Amino acid sequence: MNLQAYIAEQLTERKVLLMTHLIAGFPSLEANWRMLEIMAEVGVDLVELQMPFSEPVADGPAFAMANQEALEGGITLDKYFDLLCRSTEVFAFPHLMMGYYNTAYRLGHGRFCQRLQSNGGCGFILPDLPIEEYRDLFTESAERELTSVMLMTPTNTDERLAKIGAKANGFVYAVARKGVTGSHTDLGDELYEFIARCRQATDLPLGIGFGLRSGDDLRHLHGHAEIAIVGSELLNTWQREGEEGYRALLQDLAAGRS
Protein backbone atom coordinates (compact mmCIF):
# COMPACT_ATOMS: atom_id res chain seq x y z
CA MET A 1 0.00 0.00 0.00
CA ASN A 2 1.19 3.49 -0.82
CA LEU A 3 0.47 5.06 2.55
CA GLN A 4 1.53 8.55 1.51
CA ALA A 5 -0.93 8.50 -1.40
CA TYR A 6 -3.70 7.25 0.90
CA ILE A 7 -3.02 10.10 3.34
CA ALA A 8 -3.11 12.65 0.51
CA GLU A 9 -6.43 11.27 -0.72
CA GLN A 10 -7.99 11.35 2.75
CA LEU A 11 -6.85 14.93 3.22
CA THR A 12 -9.00 16.03 0.29
CA GLU A 13 -11.99 15.46 2.60
CA ARG A 14 -10.71 16.69 5.98
CA LYS A 15 -8.16 19.05 7.48
CA VAL A 16 -6.40 16.50 9.66
CA LEU A 17 -6.60 12.70 9.82
CA LEU A 18 -7.27 10.64 12.93
CA MET A 19 -4.95 7.77 13.76
CA THR A 20 -5.97 5.66 16.74
CA HIS A 21 -4.10 3.14 18.86
CA LEU A 22 -4.84 -0.01 20.82
CA ILE A 23 -2.73 -2.56 22.68
CA ALA A 24 -3.34 -6.13 21.53
CA GLY A 25 -4.63 -8.27 24.37
CA PHE A 26 -5.61 -5.41 26.69
CA PRO A 27 -7.96 -5.68 28.34
CA SER A 28 -8.66 -8.73 26.13
CA LEU A 29 -8.67 -9.71 22.47
CA GLU A 30 -12.49 -9.64 22.57
CA ALA A 31 -12.41 -6.06 23.83
CA ASN A 32 -9.87 -5.19 21.12
CA TRP A 33 -12.31 -6.41 18.49
CA ARG A 34 -15.08 -4.24 19.91
CA MET A 35 -12.70 -1.25 19.89
CA LEU A 36 -11.91 -1.89 16.23
CA GLU A 37 -15.61 -2.15 15.39
CA ILE A 38 -16.28 1.20 17.03
CA MET A 39 -13.29 2.75 15.22
CA ALA A 40 -14.77 1.51 11.95
CA GLU A 41 -18.24 2.83 12.84
CA VAL A 42 -16.78 6.30 13.46
CA GLY A 43 -14.54 6.13 10.38
CA VAL A 44 -11.02 6.60 11.73
CA ASP A 45 -8.34 7.03 9.08
CA LEU A 46 -5.50 4.82 10.35
CA VAL A 47 -4.98 2.40 13.24
CA GLU A 48 -1.82 1.65 15.19
CA LEU A 49 -1.95 -1.87 16.66
CA GLN A 50 0.62 -2.36 19.40
CA MET A 51 2.35 -5.65 20.18
CA PRO A 52 2.95 -5.66 23.96
CA PHE A 53 6.49 -5.73 25.29
CA SER A 54 7.90 -6.12 28.80
CA GLU A 55 9.96 -2.91 28.64
CA PRO A 56 7.97 -0.35 26.63
CA VAL A 57 10.38 2.54 27.06
CA ALA A 58 8.33 5.12 25.09
CA ASP A 59 5.14 4.39 27.01
CA GLY A 60 3.78 6.13 30.08
CA PRO A 61 2.29 4.41 33.17
CA ALA A 62 -1.10 3.55 31.64
CA PHE A 63 0.42 1.91 28.56
CA ALA A 64 3.15 0.21 30.59
CA MET A 65 0.50 -1.34 32.82
CA ALA A 66 -1.55 -2.40 29.80
CA ASN A 67 1.50 -3.99 28.16
CA GLN A 68 2.23 -6.00 31.30
CA GLU A 69 -1.36 -7.14 31.80
CA ALA A 70 -1.65 -8.19 28.16
CA LEU A 71 1.50 -10.29 28.48
CA GLU A 72 0.29 -11.83 31.73
CA GLY A 73 -3.04 -12.52 30.02
CA GLY A 74 -1.31 -14.67 27.42
CA ILE A 75 -0.88 -12.47 24.37
CA THR A 76 1.70 -13.94 21.99
CA LEU A 77 3.11 -12.86 18.66
CA ASP A 78 0.99 -15.48 16.90
CA LYS A 79 -2.15 -14.14 18.57
CA TYR A 80 -1.11 -10.62 17.65
CA PHE A 81 -0.76 -11.50 13.98
CA ASP A 82 -4.06 -13.39 14.08
CA LEU A 83 -5.78 -10.24 15.34
CA LEU A 84 -4.02 -8.12 12.72
CA CYS A 85 -5.06 -10.52 9.95
CA ARG A 86 -8.70 -10.64 11.09
CA SER A 87 -8.86 -6.88 11.36
CA THR A 88 -7.29 -6.12 7.98
CA GLU A 89 -9.68 -8.56 6.31
CA VAL A 90 -12.74 -6.81 7.80
CA PHE A 91 -11.85 -3.13 8.22
CA ALA A 92 -10.74 -0.80 5.43
CA PHE A 93 -8.47 1.54 7.40
CA PRO A 94 -4.70 0.94 7.07
CA HIS A 95 -3.08 -0.92 9.97
CA LEU A 96 0.37 -0.09 11.31
CA MET A 97 2.23 -2.42 13.66
CA MET A 98 3.60 -0.53 16.66
CA GLY A 99 6.05 -2.31 18.92
CA TYR A 100 9.63 -2.55 20.06
CA TYR A 101 12.64 -3.78 18.17
CA ASN A 102 12.84 -7.01 20.16
CA THR A 103 10.08 -8.44 17.94
CA ALA A 104 11.87 -7.72 14.66
CA TYR A 105 15.18 -8.89 16.15
CA ARG A 106 13.79 -12.23 17.32
CA LEU A 107 12.04 -12.95 14.03
CA GLY A 108 14.80 -11.56 11.82
CA HIS A 109 14.15 -8.56 9.59
CA GLY A 110 13.03 -10.54 6.56
CA ARG A 111 10.60 -12.77 8.45
CA PHE A 112 9.29 -9.84 10.46
CA CYS A 113 8.42 -7.93 7.28
CA GLN A 114 7.03 -11.04 5.61
CA ARG A 115 4.68 -11.80 8.52
CA LEU A 116 3.55 -8.20 8.73
CA GLN A 117 2.82 -8.05 5.01
CA SER A 118 1.10 -11.44 4.83
CA ASN A 119 -1.23 -10.47 7.66
CA GLY A 120 -2.28 -7.22 6.03
CA GLY A 121 -0.12 -4.63 7.79
CA CYS A 122 0.98 -1.61 5.79
CA GLY A 123 3.96 -0.63 7.94
CA PHE A 124 5.48 -0.40 11.40
CA ILE A 125 6.67 1.95 14.12
CA LEU A 126 9.62 0.87 16.29
CA PRO A 127 10.31 3.78 18.66
CA ASP A 128 13.39 2.23 20.29
CA LEU A 129 15.28 1.59 17.03
CA PRO A 130 17.69 4.34 15.91
CA ILE A 131 18.03 4.76 12.15
CA GLU A 132 21.69 3.71 12.35
CA GLU A 133 20.58 0.26 13.52
CA TYR A 134 17.99 -0.41 10.81
CA ARG A 135 20.52 -1.94 8.41
CA ASP A 136 18.63 -4.24 5.99
CA LEU A 137 15.28 -3.51 7.65
CA PHE A 138 14.99 -0.57 5.25
CA THR A 139 15.42 -2.77 2.17
CA GLU A 140 13.34 -5.65 3.56
CA SER A 141 10.41 -3.34 4.26
CA ALA A 142 10.73 -1.49 0.95
CA GLU A 143 10.68 -4.76 -1.01
CA ARG A 144 7.34 -5.59 0.63
CA GLU A 145 5.93 -2.06 0.23
CA LEU A 146 5.81 -1.57 4.00
CA THR A 147 6.15 1.90 5.50
CA SER A 148 8.82 2.18 8.17
CA VAL A 149 7.60 5.19 10.14
CA MET A 150 10.37 7.36 11.59
CA LEU A 151 10.04 9.39 14.79
CA MET A 152 11.18 12.98 15.25
CA THR A 153 11.38 14.39 18.77
CA PRO A 154 11.89 17.86 20.28
CA THR A 155 15.29 16.79 21.63
CA ASN A 156 16.62 16.03 18.14
CA THR A 157 19.09 18.56 16.75
CA ASP A 158 18.32 20.05 13.34
CA GLU A 159 21.11 17.90 11.94
CA ARG A 160 19.53 14.81 13.44
CA LEU A 161 16.08 15.75 12.12
CA ALA A 162 17.54 16.09 8.61
CA LYS A 163 19.15 12.67 8.91
CA ILE A 164 15.85 11.11 10.00
CA GLY A 165 13.96 12.95 7.27
CA ALA A 166 16.29 11.57 4.60
CA LYS A 167 15.32 8.02 5.61
CA ALA A 168 11.62 8.59 6.26
CA ASN A 169 8.77 7.40 4.07
CA GLY A 170 4.97 7.47 4.21
CA PHE A 171 4.74 9.98 7.04
CA VAL A 172 6.75 11.10 10.05
CA TYR A 173 5.63 10.58 13.64
CA ALA A 174 6.44 13.87 15.38
CA VAL A 175 6.48 13.41 19.14
CA ALA A 176 4.67 16.45 20.52
CA ARG A 177 6.74 16.82 23.68
CA LYS A 178 9.55 15.36 25.73
CA GLY A 179 8.85 12.29 27.84
CA VAL A 180 6.53 9.31 27.43
CA THR A 181 2.93 8.77 26.34
CA GLY A 182 -0.04 9.73 28.46
CA SER A 183 0.56 13.27 29.77
CA HIS A 184 -1.39 16.16 28.34
CA THR A 185 0.32 18.20 25.62
CA ASP A 186 0.25 22.00 25.50
CA LEU A 187 -0.73 22.79 21.92
CA GLY A 188 0.98 26.14 21.79
CA ASP A 189 3.93 27.99 20.34
CA GLU A 190 6.53 25.44 21.48
CA LEU A 191 4.78 22.65 19.57
CA TYR A 192 4.30 24.79 16.47
CA GLU A 193 7.98 25.75 16.52
CA PHE A 194 8.90 22.07 16.69
CA ILE A 195 6.57 21.31 13.78
CA ALA A 196 8.30 24.03 11.78
CA ARG A 197 11.66 22.39 12.50
CA CYS A 198 10.28 19.06 11.27
CA ARG A 199 9.01 20.76 8.09
CA GLN A 200 12.55 21.86 7.36
CA ALA A 201 13.68 18.23 7.56
CA THR A 202 10.99 16.51 5.49
CA ASP A 203 8.25 17.11 2.94
CA LEU A 204 6.31 14.09 4.21
CA PRO A 205 3.03 14.40 6.14
CA LEU A 206 3.48 14.87 9.88
CA GLY A 207 1.60 12.88 12.49
CA ILE A 208 1.46 14.47 15.94
CA GLY A 209 1.27 12.11 18.91
CA PHE A 210 1.66 12.07 22.71
CA GLY A 211 -1.05 13.75 24.76
CA LEU A 212 -3.90 14.53 22.33
CA ARG A 213 -7.25 14.10 24.06
CA SER A 214 -10.14 15.77 22.25
CA GLY A 215 -11.67 17.05 19.06
CA ASP A 216 -10.54 20.54 20.06
CA ASP A 217 -6.95 19.26 20.18
CA LEU A 218 -7.36 18.08 16.58
CA ARG A 219 -8.72 21.48 15.56
CA HIS A 220 -5.59 23.11 16.99
CA LEU A 221 -3.59 21.04 14.48
CA HIS A 222 -5.47 22.28 11.42
CA GLY A 223 -2.97 23.86 9.07
CA HIS A 224 -0.04 22.59 11.13
CA ALA A 225 -0.05 18.78 10.78
CA GLU A 226 -1.69 16.12 8.65
CA ILE A 227 -2.37 13.38 11.24
CA ALA A 228 -3.44 13.45 14.89
CA ILE A 229 -2.47 10.32 16.83
CA VAL A 230 -4.53 9.37 19.90
CA GLY A 231 -3.80 6.44 22.18
CA SER A 232 -3.65 6.90 25.95
CA GLU A 233 -6.90 8.85 26.18
CA LEU A 234 -8.71 6.08 24.33
CA LEU A 235 -7.32 3.41 26.65
CA ASN A 236 -8.14 5.44 29.76
CA THR A 237 -11.67 6.17 28.52
CA TRP A 238 -12.34 2.49 27.85
CA GLN A 239 -11.21 1.72 31.40
CA ARG A 240 -13.31 4.48 32.99
CA GLU A 241 -16.43 4.57 30.83
CA GLY A 242 -16.61 1.40 28.73
CA GLU A 243 -17.94 1.16 25.20
CA GLU A 244 -20.26 4.15 25.26
CA GLY A 245 -17.64 6.52 26.59
CA TYR A 246 -15.14 5.13 24.08
CA ARG A 247 -17.57 5.71 21.22
CA ALA A 248 -18.36 9.24 22.42
CA LEU A 249 -14.67 10.12 22.57
CA LEU A 250 -14.04 8.74 19.09
CA GLN A 251 -17.01 10.68 17.73
CA ASP A 252 -15.65 13.87 19.31
CA LEU A 253 -12.19 13.20 17.87
CA ALA A 254 -13.58 12.43 14.42
CA ALA A 255 -15.61 15.66 14.46
CA GLY A 256 -12.37 17.56 15.09
CA ARG A 257 -10.94 16.54 11.74
CA SER A 258 -12.82 19.21 9.81
CA–CA separation, 56 and 64 (whole Å): 6
- % of the chain at pLDDT higher than 70: 95
Mean pLDDT to the nearest integer, 44-64: 88
From the list 48, 140, 217, 226, the catalytic residue is 48
pLDDT at 236 over 80: yes
- Dihedral-angle region of residue 220 (phi above 0 means left; psi in -120 to 50 means alpha; beta otherwise): alpha
pLDDT at 179 over 50: no
Residue 186: predicted pLDDT:
59
Residue 117: predicted pLDDT:
98
Residue 42: predicted pLDDT:
98
Stated pTM of the model: 0.93
CATH number for the domain formed by residue range(s) 3-253: 3.20.20.70
Q: Per residue in 151-169, pLDDT tens?
A: 999 999 999 999 999 999 9
Residue 187: predicted pLDDT:
67
- Cβ contacts of 47 within 8 Å, gap of 6 or more: 19, 20, 21, 22, 36, 39, 87, 91, 93, 94, 95, 96
Residue 182 — pLDDT band, cuts 50, 70, 90? very low
pLDDT at 116 over 70: yes
From the list 45, 59, 226, 233, the catalytic residue is 59
Residue 109 — pLDDT band, cuts 50, 70, 90? very high
Q: Is 252 exposed, middle or buried (0-12, 13-18, 19+ CB in 10 A)?
A: middle
Q: Per residue in 215-235, pLDDT tens?
A: 999 999 999 999 999 999 999
Is 48 a catalytic site residue? yes
Q: Domain spans of the chain? A: 3-253
